Amino acid sequence: MRDSVGSVRSVLLLGGRSEIGTAIVERLVREGAREVVLAARGGVSSPPGALTGLGASVHSVDFDAGLPDTHTGTVAEAVALVGDLDVVVDAFGVLGEQSEYEADPAAAARSAGVNYTGHVSVGLAVAARLREQGHGTLVVLSSVAGVRVRRSNFVYGSAKAGLDGFAQGLADSLYGSGARVLVVRPGYVPTRMSAHVEPAPFPATPGQVADAVSAGLRSDATTVWAPGVLQPLFAGMRLMPRALWRRLSR
Residue partners of 113: CB distance under 8 A and separation at least 6 = 65, 66
- For CA atoms 219, 221, 224, 229, the dihedral sign is negative
Residue 6 as a binder of other proteins (CB under 8 A): the answer is: yes
Site string for ligand NAP, 20-59 (x = CB under 6 A): xx------------------xx------------------
Closest CA to 66 of 122, 28, 10: 122
User: Shortest Cβ contact with ligand NAP: which residue?
Assistant: 93
Site string for ligand NAP, 53-72 (x = CB under 6 A): ----------xxxx------
Residue 178 as a binder of other proteins (CB under 8 A): the answer is: yes
Q: Which of 57, 66, 109, 132 binds other proteins (CB under 8 A)?
A: 132
Q: Among 116, 156, 175, 188, which one carries the catalytic annotation?
A: 156
Closest CA to 39 of 56, 54, 25: 25
3-state DSSP: the chain helix, strand, coil percent, rounded to 5? 50, 15, 35
Q: Which of 17, 34, 135, 148 binds ligand NAP (CB under 6 A)?
A: 17
Measured CA distances, 177 to 74, 136, 165 (Å): 22, 10, 20
Site string for other proteins, 199-218 (x = CB under 8 A): -------------------x
Binders of ligand NAP in range 101-140 (CB under 6 A): 114
d(CA 204, CA 194): 12
User: Is 156 a known active-site residue?
Assistant: yes
Shortest Å distance, C-beta 200 to ligand NAP: 8
Count of residues touching other proteins (by CB under 8 A): 25
Q: End-to-end alpha-carbon separation of the chain, Å? A: 44
At 171, give phi and psi (nearest 5°).
-60, -45
Query: Which part of the chain contacts ligand NAP (CB under 6 A), choosing from 17-25, 30-38, 69-77, 78-86?
Result: 17-25
Closest CA to 210 of 91, 35, 85: 91
Binding site for ligand NAP (CB under 6 A): 15, 17-21, 40-41, 63-66, 91-94, 114, 141, 143, 186, 188-189, 191-194
